[in-house]
């Protein structure tokens, strides 16, 4: 039999009825003879409520006490699920992060996992006990609770699966898998049976909301086969008991994917902003003087384009940042003007980054040309382009987002069954 880690998000455990439904999913795997550990999030909306209470108590609060408060949401869910499982006759016990222990660094509120000792949980598998683990939390070097930041329960689950050497980590959510693009924009979007780690990492970082980026990175590094499926499917449906091919999307090494599509999906990210620095001094160290302070200020920079300077004295530099960080970025850059020597700074918010993703692009030509030709038919003005081995990202005006996504989804044949 297999060893499984099952993770359930906030909408899946939003109330007692849904927790009972989650328990049925867990019991199905236990009855099949599998060793099972479960990672749970706080009930939907609970973390936001707890964060709000911290801010109401004091706008400038101690990060360690903040963690003590917000980690309580997962603790409640873990205890409730263990109680429901016990009532169903399942041997279950709840665990908090410090009890495993799941060790983190000292960055309270945004901690990163350093080590997990899963030996006690593995020992209890021999007694057929289900471990119900509170996600999103661990223990810092100061022996205080530390939380992992938004989406931390996904990261907890994948890290635990790696520590337990699980055969698979099943991420139960409110969608039934990973789609070729957002079905709300392209009704013909298809659920993928499999997607490579690298492709999923690109999709997660470029706007797909199914999985948190850090969890995909962790899964890729530790080769944790991760399965995205819906907690709202009937737990007792016959297809749910098919271990090898249940409904959902498997995220795995590309070697497991026999027929690799040239393009696997189209992702998009709205609320991008573009910043252009005009006539920047063209000398060594200037780029560091621009992007170093932005990094120190916590501004995520993407899609950097630098024009070639003919004179060798000045050049133009254009890049994107999230719209929410635009004001902060401009303020930081204005303070660097004396060192960087630019003549003018121009900015514009409300743009969209549309990305074409696929590991098959490594061995096929013409993928970029196809995208550019299709967008020219709309017509849409392309403001910036960046590429990697498996991705092409294009910056466009937000007014064209839905049309561009649908056209690209169609031109690469992703809407065909």
CB within 8 Å of 373: residues ≥ 6 apart: none
3-state secondary structure of 14: coil
Find out whether 8 is annotated in a ligand binding site.
Answer: yes
Residues in the chain: 417
Q: Is 209 annotated as a binding residue?
A: yes
Sign of CA dihedral 194, 198, 199, 204: positive
Q: Is 336 annotated as a binding residue?
A: no
DSSP state of 2: -
| Spatial distance between the Cα atoms of 266 and 250, rounded to a whole number of angstroms | 18
> Is residue 9 part of an annotated ligand binding site?
yes
- DSSP E strands in 124-281: the ranges are 130-134, 137-139, 145-147, 168-173, 194-196, 226-230, 249-252, 265-281
Nearest to 179 by CA among 171, 169, 189: 189
State the alpha helices, DSSP H only, in 206-252: 213-222
Is residue 184 part of an annotated ligand binding site? yes
The percent of the chain in helix, strand and coil, each rounded to the nearest 5, is 40, 25, 35
Instruction: Judge whether 416 is annotated as a binding position.
Output: no
- What is the C-alpha separation between 118 and 333, in angstroms, rounded? 46
47 is in an annotated binding site: yes
Contact 133, 160 (CB under 8 A): yes
Is 10 annotated to bind ligand?
A: yes
Instruction: Give one DSSP letter per residue of 130-148, joined into a string.
Output: EEEEE-SEEE-TTSSEEE-
**Positions at the binding site for ATP:** 7-10, 173-174, 179, 184, 209-210
Residue numbers in the known binding site are 7-10, 47, 74, 173-174, 179, 184, 209-210
- Binding-site residues for substrate: 47, 74
């Amino acid at each position: 039999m297999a060893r499984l880690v099952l993770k359930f998000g906030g909408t899946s455990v939003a109330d007692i009825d849904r927790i009972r439904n989650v328990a049925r999913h867990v019991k199905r795997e236990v009855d099949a003879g599998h060793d099972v550990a479960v990672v749970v999030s706080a009930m939907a909306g609970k973390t936001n409520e707890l964060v709000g209470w911290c801010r109401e108590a004091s706008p400038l609060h101690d990060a360690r006490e903040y963690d003590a408060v917000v980690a309580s949401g997962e603790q409640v869910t873990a205890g409730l699920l263990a109680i429901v499982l016990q009532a169903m006759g399942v041997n279950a016990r709840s665990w908090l992060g410090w009890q495993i222990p799941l060790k983190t660094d000292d960055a309270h509120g945004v901690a990163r996992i350093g080590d997990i000792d899963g030996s006690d949980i593995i020992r209890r598998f021999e007694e057929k006990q289900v471990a119900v683990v509170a996600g999103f939390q661990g223990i810092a070097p100061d022996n205080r609770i530390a939380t992992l930041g938004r989406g931390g329960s996904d990261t907890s689950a994948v890290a635990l699966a790696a520590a337990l050497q699980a055969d698979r980590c099943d991420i139960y959510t409110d969608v039934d898998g990973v789609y070729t693009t957002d079905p709300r924009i392209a009704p013909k979007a298809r659920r993928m049976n499999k997607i490579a780690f690298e492709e999923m990492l690109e999709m997660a970082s470029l706007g797909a909301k199914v999985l948190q980026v850090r969890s995909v990175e962790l899964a890729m590094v530790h080769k944790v086969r991760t399965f995205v499926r819906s907690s709202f499917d009937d737990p007792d449906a016959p297809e749910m008991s098919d271990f090898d091919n249940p409904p959902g999307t498997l995220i795995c090494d590309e070697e497991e994917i026999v027929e690799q599509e040239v393009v696997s999906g189209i992702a998009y990210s709205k609320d991008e902003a573009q910043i252009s620095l005009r006539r920047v001094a063209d000398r060594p160290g200037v780029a560091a003087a621009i992007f170093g302070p932005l990094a120190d200020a916590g501004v995520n920079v993407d899609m950097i384009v630098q024009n070639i300077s003919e004179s060798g004295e000045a050049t133009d530099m254009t890049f994107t940042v999230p719209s929410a960080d635009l004001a902060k970025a401009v303020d930081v850059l204005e303070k660097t003007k004396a060192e960087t020597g630019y003549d003018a700074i121009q900015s514009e918010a409300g743009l969209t980054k549309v990305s074409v993703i696929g590991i098959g692009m490594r061995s096929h030509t013409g993928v970029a040309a196809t995208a550019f030709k299709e967008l020219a038919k709309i017509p849409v003005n392309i403001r910036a382009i960046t590429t990697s081995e498996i991705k092409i990202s294009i910056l466009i005006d937000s007014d064209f987002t839905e049309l561009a996504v649908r056209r690209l989804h169609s031109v690469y044949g992703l809407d065909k069954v």
